[in-house]
Chains A and B, each alone.
Chain A
Amino acid sequence: MMVTEALADILSEFEDIEDRTQRFELLFDLAEDVDALPPEEWTEDNRVKGCQSQAHIAVRIEDGIVHLRGGADARIVQGLMGLLSLGMNGQTVDVARQVTLDIVESAGVLNSLTPSRSNGFRTMYDMVIGQLREA
C-alpha cells in the first residue's frame, strides 16, 4: 500500500503523534499544500457528495501522470485531499491506484469509515479511484 515516499513519511509522522489535536494540526498543514481547484471550477460533477462541507476534487491525467486538484471549506476535508495528493499527485495511474482507504486509518483522524455513515472522505476516495480505473 505504501506507494510514495512522501505519503509513507507523513503517515509515519502521524503515527508518532499521540495527541489527536496535534494530528489535526498536521492535517491542517497538508491542507495548505493541495493544488487549488478554484471555486469557479467547482461543478456538480466534481462535488464530493455526502460531505458536510463544500468539497470538490478534480482528477486530470496527462501522459499517464495523475494530477489532483481540490478545494473545500472545511480544512479537515482539504487536509484529507492533501493526504490523497501525497500518494497520487505526479504519480503514474498504476501507482496512484495503489493508494487505499487505509491511509486515513493510519493517520488516525477519522472515527469511522464505514460506508453506511455519511463520510466525505470515502466518497472523495471513490470518486478519484473510479476515475483512475477508467483511465
Chain B
Amino acid sequence: MVDPADFPILSRTVHGEHPLVYLDNAATTQKPAVVIDAMDAYYRQNNANVHRAVHALAGEATDAYEACRDTLRTWFNAERVVLTSGTTEAINLVAHGWGRAVLKEGDAIVLTEMEHHSDIVPWQMLAKERGIEVRYVPVLPDMTLDMEAYEASLAGAKLVCVVHTSNVLGVRNPVERIIEQAHAMGAKVLLDAAQGAPHSRIDVTGLGADFLAVSAHKMLGPTGIGCLTISQAAFDEMQPFMGGGDMIEHVSLSGSTYQTNEHKFEAGTPRIAEAVGWKAAMDYLAAVDLDSEHQRLLGIARWTAEQLRSLGCTVYGRHGDEDSAVVSFLHPGIHAEDFAHLLDAAGFAVRTGHHCAQPLLHRLGIDSTVRASFYLYNTMEEAEAFVARVAYVLERFGR
C-alpha cells in the first residue's frame, strides 16, 4: 500500500477528535502532497496561458500541460487524448462531437442499466434531438449484465456505451467481450472508466476501445480535469462541438478553420494547473504496483462485505477477482441516511443515496445504499474500525 502519510488530509480529525477514516473514494480520492505541491509550484513559478505566447513562462506552461497528455497517452496506450473537465464532459464530447457527426435518425445506440447518469442523460438528450433509438441492456439478479440481451441488442447499433466498473456495485464488466461483439457488428464502443481506471492499467488500443472516459480526481489527481481517449479512426469522424480560442487554425468573418489535433476539442484556456497536478498523480501511481494493490483492497472489501452480512446487512455486489473495492449495503433496521450521519459522527466518510445510478437501483428494487469504497491508502485496521462502528450503530440505533 502507499504511505498514508503522503496524504496530508488523512492526518486530520473530524467532529472533535475522531481520526478521519475516508471511505468515499468512489466519489473522489484524496491527493498526495506531490500533487498539491506540483499545482502550488506551477502557480508560483510557471503560470501562463498555453500554446500561443512566445515568452518563457508560456513555453513552460505549454510543456507542462502537454506533458500530462503525453503521460496519459502512454499510460492508456491511446492514439488520441483530449483533456476534458472530467468523465461527464468526456462522454458529452462523444455525444456531441462524434454522435452529432455520425448518428442520424433511426440509428440505434446501446446503453446498460448499470450506467452512471452521466452515461445516460447525454444520450437521451441526443436521442430526443436526432430521433435515435436507445436500447438498454438489463442487469441480472446476480448484478451482472445480461450478455445474451446485449448480443441481441447489437443488430444495427452504431455505438455501445458501457461502464467499465460500476460505481455502485464495483462489478467490472466483461469489456473485452463487449468490445469484440460490438466491433463484429460494426458498432463503436465508449467505456466509462471513471471507476475502472483508478484500479487497474487499461490498454485502450489493446482492448480496442474506441473511446474511454476518465476523471483525474478519482485517481489521486485534482478535480476539474479528466480525459477522453479516442482511436484515430473515431477521431477522424468527429467534429468540434465547442467553439472558441485555441481550437481554431484561422478565423475570418466569413468562417473558421480548425486545428487538426486534440486542440480542436479543447476550446478556451484549458485546465493547466490541473493538468500539472494530474501528471504528478500519474507519476505517483506509476510507482504503485496496482495489481497487488487491487488484490489487497479487494481482500479488505470482501472481508468487510462478509462482516456486514453477518451483522444482517444486505450487500450489493459480488467482489469478483476483477471487481473494485466498493461495498454497497443496507440494513433493514436503519435508513441509509441515518447510517451515514451516524458513521460520519465518528469520523467515517461514506456515501449514501442513489450514487447517480437511479436506473440500476430501480432494477435492484431499492432507492439508496450506503457505500464504502476503499483506495490505496486505506488499511485493514480502518476496515475493522468501520465494521465495529457499524455494529455499534446497529446496536444503539437499529430497530
Q: Which residues from chain A sit less than 8 Å from chain B, CB to CB?
A: 18-21, 23-25, 28, 52-53, 73-77, 109, 111
Contact yes or no, A74 B16, CB < 8 A: no
Q: How far is the CA of A103 from the CA of B13 in the complex (A)?
A: 25
* A21 contact set on B, CB distance < 8 A: 342, 345-346, 396
Interface contact A74-B337, CB-CB below 8 Å: yes
Nearest CB in chain B: distance from A47 CB, A = 13
- Assess the B345–A74 pair: CB atoms within 8 A: no
Chain A residues with Cβ below 8 Å from B335 are 53, 73-76
Contact among A23, A52, A77, A111 with B368 in the assembled complex (CB-CB below 8 Å)? A52
Query: When the two chains form the complex, which single residue of B16, B336, B342, B352 contacts A24, counting CB atoms closer than 8 Å?
Result: B342
| Cα-based distance from A19 to B336 in the complex (angstroms) | 21
17 contacts between A and B (CB under 8 A): A18-B16, A19-B345, A20-B16, A21-B346, A24-B341, A24-B345, A52-B336, A52-B352, A52-B353, A53-B335, A73-B335, A75-B335, A75-B338, A76-B335, A76-B337, A76-B338, A77-B337
- Say yes or no for B43: interface residue by CB 8 A criterion: no
Distance in Å: Cβ of B392 to nearest Cβ of chain A? 9
B397 within 8 A of A: yes
Residue B250 interfacial (CB < 8 Å): no
Contact with A along B313-355 (1 / 0, CB 8 A): 0000000000000000000000111100110111000001100
CB distance from B359 to the nearest CB of A (A): 17
Best-buried of B15, B337, B352, B397 by chain A (most CB within 10 Å): B337
Q: Given the complex of chains A and B, what is the CA–CA distance between A111 and B341 in angstroms?
A: 9
Q: Tell me the smallest distance from the CB of B329 to a CB of chain A, in Å.
A: 16
> With a CB–CB cut-off of 8 A, which chain A residues contact B344?
111
Q: Which residue of B lies closest to A109 (CB)?
A: B341
Which of A21, A53, A73, A111 has the most chain B CB atoms inside 10 A of its CB? A21
Contacts of A25 in B (CB 8 A): 396-397
> In the complex, how many angstroms separate the beta carbon of A34 from the nearest chain B beta carbon?
15
Alpha-carbon gap, A19 to B396, bound state (A): 15
Contact A20 B15 (CB under 8 A): yes
Q: Is the CB of A20 within 8 A of B345?
A: yes
Look across to chain B and name the residue whose beta carbon is closest to the beta carbon of A77.
B337
Question: How close is B210's CB to chain A, nearest CB, in angstroms?
Answer: 35
Residue interface mask B360-399, A partner, CB < 8 A = 1: 0000000010000000000000000000000000001100
Report yes or no: B397 in contact with A28, Cβ–Cβ below 8 A.
yes
Cβ contacts under 8 Å, A53 to chain B: 335, 337
5 tightest CB-CB pairs across the interface, nearest first? A20-B345, A74-B335, A74-B337, A21-B345, A52-B337
**Most chain A CB neighbours (cut-off 10 Å) among B16, B341, B346, B368:** B341
Q: CB distance B346 to A74 under 8 Å?
A: no
